[in-house]
């Protein structure tokens, strides 16, 4: 695990975008893993600029979202399919049919979870996974207590995460209770993981997963086992590291 401390969002966005760009230039049909939330936005902004300005080409790439709410009607503006489209994929030339999100409205969710993993495998697995981290150390929607070997599956959101995400909905009552998320075992299979954490509120989680024991209590700590994990943090998020 390499930890890179940078002055702010702009530099983090550029460094992560450099990794994506190098990958796409080497492997135009690369498979990207995408997170939603605020942490990756500077990366998506920078990639959109490079697409516009430099012609960075996503036309043969695939993208897989980490997670999706269960029970939102298809097209709901806060479904991660819509969010990832608004924030990133509609701003570059990736083909809509190459953008994959778990179907949280599927009648048979366990079958959909298996099919999602099959779709990832069919295109060769994720080359570069972008991640954020929750204040409790979650990655994807793998909350504390998630099995370190878990695969894509349905999970119940803890109240803190529902409250954290209520800002995107009209009220807390509108935040779904369930999600489909890639498992920790699934995330570990990505060939390169780039996790972004900014702001003082992330400092305890960063300390715990970088320097603490590997434990399901802090799901992101499983990245200590990953052979190529890059942790990009600003000084505030790094402030509790030894
Ligand atoms: C989003 C996701 C979550 C977020 C995490 C941090 O797809 O999987 O794990 O990355 O909750 O969210 P932000 O970046 O909004 O602080």
Q: What is the CATH number of the domain that holds 89?
A: 3.40.50.1360
pLDDT of residue 70: 96
Q: Please state the rounded mean pLDDT for residues 11-22.
A: 98
Q: Which of 56, 40, 64, 222 is nearest to 149 (CA)?
A: 222
Residue 205 within a domain: no
Question: Given this model, what pLDDT does residue 164 score?
Answer: 86
Q: Which of 64, 80, 126, 132 to mutate to test the pocket of ligand 1 (most atoms within 8 A of CB)?
A: 132
Residue matched to tokens 């960075």? 56
242 lies in some domain: no
Q: Is the pLDDT of residue 128 over 90?
A: yes
Identify the CA nearest to 63 among candidates 119, 134, 118, 140: 119
Q: For residue 206, tell me if it sits in a domain.
A: no
Q: What confidence category does residue 161 fall into, taking pLDDT thresholds of 50, 70 and 90?
A: confident
Structural domain includes residue 169: yes
pLDDT bin (cut points 50, 70, 90) of residue 6 is very high
Please check whether residue 240 lies inside any domain of the structure.
Answer: no
Q: Classify residue 208: in a domain, yes or no.
A: no
Ligand 1: which residue has its CA nearest to atom 12? 37
Our count of domains for the chain comes to: 1
Q: Is 239 helix (H, G, I), strand (E, B) or coil?
A: coil
Question: What is the pLDDT, as a whole number, of residue 220?
Answer: 98
- Residue 160 reports pLDDT greater than 90: no
Model's pTM, two decimal places? 0.97
What's the domain range around 103? 2-197+214-234
Structural domain includes residue 241: no
Count Cβ neighbours within 10 Å for each residue of 67-96 and write b for 16 or more, e otherwise: bbbbebeeebebbbbbbbbebbbebbebee
The proportion of the chain whose per-residue pLDDT surpasses 70, expressed as a percent, equals 100
Question: Which among 134, 155, 220 is the best mutation to test ligand 1's pocket, defined by most ligand atoms within 8 Å of the CB?
Answer: 134
Residue 27 has pLDDT above 90, yes or no: yes
Q: Is residue 115 part of a domain?
A: yes
């Amino acid at each position: 695990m390499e930890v890179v401390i940078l002055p702010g969002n702009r530099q983090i966005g550029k460094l992560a975008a450099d990794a994506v760009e190098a990958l796409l230039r080497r492997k135009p049909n690369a498979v990207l893993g995408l997170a939603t939330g605020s942490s990756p936005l500077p990366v998506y902004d920078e990639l959109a600029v490079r697409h516009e300005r430099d012609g960075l080409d996503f036309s043969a790439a695939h993208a897989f979202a980490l997670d999706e709410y269960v029970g939102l009607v298809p097209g709901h503006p806060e479904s991660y399919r819509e969010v990832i489209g608004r924030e990133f994929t509609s701003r570059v030339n990736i083909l809509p049919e190459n953008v994959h999100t778990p179907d949280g409205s599927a009648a048979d969710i366990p079958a959909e979870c298996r099919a999602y993993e099959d779709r990832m495998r069919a295109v060769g697995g994720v080359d570069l996974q972008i991640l954020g981290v929750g204040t409790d150390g979650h990655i994807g929607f793998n909350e504390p207590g998630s099995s370190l070997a878990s695969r894509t599956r349905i999970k119940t959101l803890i109240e803190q995460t529902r409250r954290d995400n209520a800002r995107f909905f009209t009220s807390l009552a509108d935040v779904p209770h369930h999600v489909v998320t890639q498992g920790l075992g699934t995330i570990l299979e990505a060939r390169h993981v780039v996790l972004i954490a900014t702001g003082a509120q992330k400092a305890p989680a960063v300390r715990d997963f970088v320097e603490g024991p590997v434990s399901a209590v802090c799901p992101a700590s499983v990245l200590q086992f990953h052979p190529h994990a890059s942790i990009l943090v600003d000084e505030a998020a790094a402030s509790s590291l030894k």
